[in-house]
């Protein structure tokens, strides 16, 4: 993967610089001249120019892209990008459940065309709304998957910086501040090397959060203020809104309630301007904290309740949990102990659902497994280096190499012992993994062949269809072309209906999806070969037009055939036929 992909991961806000207006103007000039896919890409560019700075301003461009996509046949790849954009918009706006749904659909789209690079990006971004939903274990798995894909693609370390940042955020939530800061420092170093000021500001802001939680207020305030200045100067409204709140937190803990309230109000106003619901939830709660401290309990309760309502609406479980406790404390301070008891009970239920012990254990286990895997990789690389030295250097250099290799191995081994996993490295595991790798390679090869054959079928059918259209135009030419025209069309129809390509496709399909036919026949034993063929194409993600081209029929005929097959298989009316088939 090229370095530019880091822009998509953690440097995308750099697109929104002083050059924004020129960029927007040039893109808008293209709009009247374009249509279909080209116009969708232009609208996506406009959306991404504003996505982080001003989601409200960005959204109409994304809506326009989706509207065109609904009317136009677009590629699976472009469909995946639109879903990714939708997931990003919902996440930035605090609509976490819709965000997760959009990211999952985007991952499915990119998986169909084996676009590992965008799968990596989607997994990394999907962890963010999952974290806000309190599903920390799922979020961490997303980040780990993103890192694994990045390594499979041979990326440099800088590409994984955003994943490290997100893992650090989870450990902050869990109170593992030292480990969290290690991740943030790693991101800071990468961004400094890569000359990415936005990434530096974000990583330092997160380090400041850890300092704040460790009651190192002066250090936290210095880092927060520096980051806030950068975000304001470069017009990053989302980040600025969050940073106002962070600065307010420090002043609040240092006993400066009025200064804290000033920054919390700025945070809420900034977030409200861009419809950043996540920051609005937090700012409301923090304003309530100030009012509670000032013993203005009615005002505090009003802010807590508004924050709770918005959090519940967005599915933000972590923020809702915090508000429940605040409301309980406020009712208790007002002498309404029954209401306080009810809200405190709701808080405990919400807390246990998020931070139950087995979830925490699972998260810590994932972290240990990740660190262990990193150490094992280091050892493997060191052994390979030693082998190379054995072959290429003289005896005296060899001794130095072996000594250095021994030192490196000892260091790596001590790291493994720290995590307690070295004992589980057994010979039978290595043998099993080798066999699994061979099997995976075989399956991957078959999948590639199947995808290639599917593409061949679609391209061939499209070629034939386009050639027919051209011949239709020739038909109006001089009379001598009539006989030749009829002969060629007959040959093309015959070639279109040939079963040779289908047989090749079927052989690869049956190897990759071995029990697909059996699953369909278990639903109805009278299913025909023609219906199996239709279902196979659907399983491979082809749309009605593509299938119609292959079978040399009208798209409406495919729609009818799908409807009849759906009835024959007794599929629930609420289920979409294509989704059901793909899920088999």
Q: pTM of the entire structure?
A: 0.47
Q: Between vectors from CA 161 to CA 156 and to CA 163, what angle results, nearest 5°? A: 115
**Phi, psi angles (nearest 5°) of residue 102:** -65, -40
Check: CATH 1.25.40.10 for 1-222? yes
Query: Do 1-222 and 236-351 share a fold?
Result: yes
Per-residue pLDDT tens digits for 432-458: 566 666 556 555 555 555 555 554 555
Mean pLDDT of 553-581: 82
The 8-class DSSP code of residue 75 comes to: -
More confident residue, 226 or 511: 226
Sign of CA dihedral 137, 150, 171, 327: negative
Q: Which of 129, 157, 158 is nearest to 142 (CA)?
A: 129
107-116, 272-281, 361-370: segment of lowest average pLDDT: 361-370
Q: CB burial class (10 A; 0-12, 13-18, 19+) of residue 20?
A: middle
- CATH entry, 236-351, from 1.10.630.10, 1.25.40.10, 1.10.3720.10, 3.40.630.30: 1.25.40.10
Which band of pLDDT confidence, cut at 50, 70 and 90, is reported for residue 551? Answer: confident
Domain extents in the chain: 1-222, 236-351, 372-422, 449-583
pLDDT of residue 42: 86
Q: How confident is the model at residue 405 (pLDDT cuts 50, 70, 90)?
A: very low
Is residue 247 scored above 90 in pLDDT? yes
The Cα-based distances of 305 to 267, 322, 326 in angstroms read: 18, 11, 9
**262 Cβ neighbours under 8 A, 6+ residues apart:** 248
Q: In degrees, to the nearest 5, what angle opens at C-alpha 31 toward C-alphas 30 and 32?
A: 100
Average pLDDT over residues 395-415: 39
3-state secondary structure at position 42: helix
70-96: average pLDDT:
87
Report how far residue 26's alpha carbon sits from residue 416's, in angstroms, rounded to the nearest whole number. Answer: 54
- pLDDT of residue 578 exceeding 70: yes
359-402 pLDDT per residue, tens: 455 555 455 555 555 555 555 555 555 555 555 544 344 434 43
Question: Which of 279-293, 499-513, 550-564 has the weakest average pLDDT?
Answer: 499-513
| 133-145 per-position pLDDT tens digit | 888 889 989 999 9
Q: How far apart are CA 73 and CA 523, in angstroms?
A: 32
Percent residues over pLDDT 70 in the chain? 69
């Amino acid at each position: 993967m090229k370095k530019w992909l880091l822009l998509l991961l953690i440097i995308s806000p750099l697109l929104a610089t002083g050059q924004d207006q020129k960029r927007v103007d040039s893109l808008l000039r293209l709009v009247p001249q374009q249509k279909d896919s080209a116009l969708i890409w232009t609208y996506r560019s406009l959306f991404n120019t504003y996505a982080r700075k001003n989601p409200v301003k960005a959204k109409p461009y994304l809506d326009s892209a989706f509207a065109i996509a609904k009317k136009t046949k677009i590629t699976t790849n472009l469909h995946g990008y639109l879903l990714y954009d939708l997931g990003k918009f919902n996440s930035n706006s605090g609509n976490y459940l819709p965000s997760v749904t959009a990211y999952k659909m985007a991952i499915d789209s990119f998986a169909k065309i084996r676009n590992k690079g965008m799968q990596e990006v989607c997994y990394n971004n999907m962890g963010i709304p999952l974290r806000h939903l309190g599903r920390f274990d799922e979020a961490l798995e997303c980040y780990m998957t993103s890192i694994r894909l990045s390594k499979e693609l041979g990326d440099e370390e800088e590409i994984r910086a955003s994943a490290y940042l997100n893992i650090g955020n989870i450990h902050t939530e869990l109170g593992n501040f030292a480990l969290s800061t290690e991740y943030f420092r790693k991101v800071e170093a990468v961004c400094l090397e890569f000359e990415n000021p936005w990434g530096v500001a974000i990583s330092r802001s997160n380090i400041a959060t850890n300092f704040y939680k460790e009651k190192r207020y002066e250090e936290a305030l210095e880092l927060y203020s520096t980051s806030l200045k950068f975000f304001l100067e470069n017009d990053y409204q989302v980040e600025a809104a969050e940073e106002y709140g962070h600065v307010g937190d420090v002043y609040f803990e240092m006993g400066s309630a009025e200064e804290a309230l000033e920054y919390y109000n700025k945070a809420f106003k900034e977030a409200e301007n861009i419809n950043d619901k996540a920051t609005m939830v937090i700012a409301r709660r923090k304003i309530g904290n100030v009012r509670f401290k000032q013993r203005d309990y009615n005002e505090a309760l009003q802010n807590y309740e508004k924050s709770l309502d918005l959090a519940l609406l967005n599915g933000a479980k972590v923020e809702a949990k915090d508000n429940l406790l605040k409301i309980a404390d406020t009712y208790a301070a007002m002498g309404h102990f029954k209401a306080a008891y009810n809200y405190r009970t709701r808080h405990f239920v919400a807390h246990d659902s998020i931070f139950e012990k087995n979830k925490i254990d699972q998260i810590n286990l994932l972290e240990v497994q990740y660190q262990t895997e990193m150490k094992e990789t280091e050892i493997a690389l060191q052994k390979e280096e030693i082998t190379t030295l054995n072959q290429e250097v003289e005896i005296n250099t060899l001794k130095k190499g072996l000594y250095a290799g021994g030192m490196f191995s000892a260091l790596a081994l001590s790291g493994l012992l720290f995590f307690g996993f070295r004992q589980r490295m057994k010979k039978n595991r290595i043998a099993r993994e080798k066999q699994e790798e061979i099997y995976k390679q075989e399956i991957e090869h078959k999948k590639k062949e199947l995808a290639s054959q599917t593409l061949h079928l679609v391209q061939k059918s499209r070629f034939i269809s386009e050639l027919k259209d051209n011949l239709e135009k020739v038909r109006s030419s001089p009379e001598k072309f009539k006989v030749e025209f009829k002969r060629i069309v007959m040959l093309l129809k015959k070639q279109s209906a040939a079963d040779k390509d289908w047989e090749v496709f079927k052989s690869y399909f049956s190897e990759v999806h071995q029990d697909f036919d059996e699953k369909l026949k278990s639903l109805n034993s009278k299913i025909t070969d023609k219906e199996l063929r239709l279902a196979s194409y659907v399983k491979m993600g082809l749309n009605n037009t593509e299938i119609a081209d292959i079978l040399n029929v009208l798209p409406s005929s495919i729609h009818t055939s799908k409807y009849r097959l759906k009835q024959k298989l007794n599929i629930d009316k609420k289920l979409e036929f294509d989704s059901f088939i793909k899920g088999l």
